[in-house]
Chain A
Amino acid sequence: MKKSKSPEASRAPFKVGDKVRVRDMPYMFYTRSQLYTRGAVGTIAALTYKDLIPEEEAFNFDGHVEQYYIVRFRQKDLWPGYPFDNDTLQTECPHRWLEPATN
């Protein structure tokens, strides 16, 4: 495996309960971040583990390890016409895909 040259994400780690927005990074070659979550605001539900990021592991780069989070969204925030207020959806994102959100 080749060593990664990409910088560690410099922003402070998130904690459970933080509001985060999924970044809308360019679609190029590979992604694990679903279209319907991009730009959506959710809440950190759990910190899972540190691991290689998909964009690098998928091309055999080594060494760039980031915190992964379970992010919880209200279904209504993902699908505006969704009929039930309390339903949620959880997915997993590495640190670089998230930015702090005020709401």
Chain B
Amino acid sequence: MSSLLRYLLLSPGQDCLILLAPTYLGLSRPQPRGDSASGIFHRQGGLLRSYHKLSSDGFEQRIKQMPSPDLREQLELIRSIQPAVHVPQNWNYENTGPMYKAYMHPPHDVGGQFDVPIYYEEKEEEQWELDTYVTCEVLGWRGVWTAEERRRRADNDLGYTLYLGMPYYARWIWAAAKMLVDKKHVSLAELQEKIAEVKSRYEKK
């Protein structure tokens, strides 16, 4: 779903959602609202079904109208990493204690969470990973950040999608770049120009 479409769908709140629902969500009447934690999940369950309906009816047709296949593909990828219950989560005024605590939970505190068995891989560091390690350590020695700040930025601050979506040292280098921009050592514009320049140099080879 494009950000414009989401903005149109959701920005003025529940009334607008209901108003637009017949058009975009295929709903014939508003979903029931609940107050308890379980109520919220029921409500989410209800809207989740609607969201799937949106995906199969409106979204697929709309996205096919996008002019460029590349843009279409990119939007599909963005959609695929969004939480399935994104729609009812927007500006949720009904956060209960446990729900609030769950939202505050940092991505890196994973102990005790359920998971499926995963393949254990013996993998050597790649050159860019070693370079990243050294870069981040040198930034520490020069007093630009502390080790704990690196952990906070690379393990905690980037959110679940990036935490789970990037390899270990990609999180480090992402956090280093973000830190350098945050602390005004480089501007984002400067960084973008440099990355674009290096990228074009590599592509010419």
B104 at the interface (CB under 8 A from A): yes
Chain A residues numbered 8-28 whose CB sits less than 8 Å from any CB in chain B: 26-28
Q: For the A-B complex with A52-B148, A58-B152 known, give 14 more contacts whose Cβ atoms are closer than 8 Å.
A: A26-B104, A28-B104, A29-B156, A30-B106, A31-B106, A32-B151, A34-B112, A36-B112, A57-B147, A57-B149, A58-B148, A59-B152, A60-B145, A79-B112
Q: Which of chain A's residues have a CB closer than 8 A to the CB of B149?
A: 57-60
Please tell me if the beta carbons of B112 and A57 are within 8 angstroms of each other in the complex: no
Q: How far is the CA of A60 from the CA of B145 in the complex (A)?
A: 8
Count residues of chain B with CB under 8 A from any CB of chain A: 15
Chain A residues numbered 51-84 whose CB sits less than 8 Å from any CB in chain B: 52, 54, 57-60, 79
Q: Which of chain B's residues have a CB closer than 8 A to the CB of A1?
A: 146
A35 at the interface (CB under 8 A from B): yes
Can you name 13 A-B pairs with beta carbons within 8 Å?
A: A27-B105, A29-B152, A30-B106, A30-B152, A30-B156, A32-B151, A36-B111, A57-B147, A58-B146, A58-B151, A58-B152, A59-B152, A79-B112
Cβ-defined partner of B109 (8 Å) among A31, A59, A60: A31
CB distance from B78 to the nearest CB of A (A): 27
B101 at the interface (CB under 8 A from A): yes
When C-beta atoms are compared, the residue in chain B nearest to A56 turns out to be B148
- CB-defined interface of B95-134 with A at 8 Å, one 1/0 digit per residue? 0000001001110010110000000000000000000000
Please tell me if the beta carbons of A35 and B148 are within 8 angstroms of each other in the complex: no
Q: Which of chain B's residues have a CB closer than 8 A to the CB of A60?
A: 145-146, 149
Q: How far is the CA of A59 from the CA of B112 in the complex (A)?
A: 27
- CB-defined interface of A37-60 with B at 8 Å, one 1/0 digit per residue? 000000000000000101001111
CB distance from A83 to the nearest CB of B (A): 16
When C-beta atoms are compared, the residue in chain B nearest to A62 turns out to be B146
When C-beta atoms are compared, the residue in chain B nearest to A26 turns out to be B104
CB distance from A36 to the nearest CB of B (A): 4
CB distance from B134 to the nearest CB of A (A): 21
When C-beta atoms are compared, the residue in chain A nearest to B183 turns out to be A60
Please tell me if the beta carbons of B106 and A27 are within 8 angstroms of each other in the complex: yes
When C-beta atoms are compared, the residue in chain B nearest to A79 turns out to be B112
Q: Which of chain A's residues have a CB closer than 8 A to the CB of B147?
A: 57
Q: Which of chain A's residues have a CB closer than 8 A to the CB of B101?
A: 27
CB distance from B94 to the nearest CB of A (A): 19
Please tell me if the beta carbons of A35 and B112 are within 8 angstroms of each other in the complex: yes
CB distance from B110 to the nearest CB of A (A): 9
Please tell me if the beta carbons of B148 and A54 are within 8 angstroms of each other in the complex: yes
Please tell me if the beta carbons of B152 and A35 are within 8 angstroms of each other in the complex: no
Q: Which of chain A's residues have a CB closer than 8 A to the CB of B109?
A: 31, 34-35
CB distance from A76 to the nearest CB of B (A): 14
Q: How far is the CA of A26 from the CA of B97 in the complex (A)?
A: 11
Q: How far is the CA of A1 from the CA of B145 in the complex (A)?
A: 9
Q: How far is the CA of A91 from the CA of B54 in the complex (A)?
A: 47
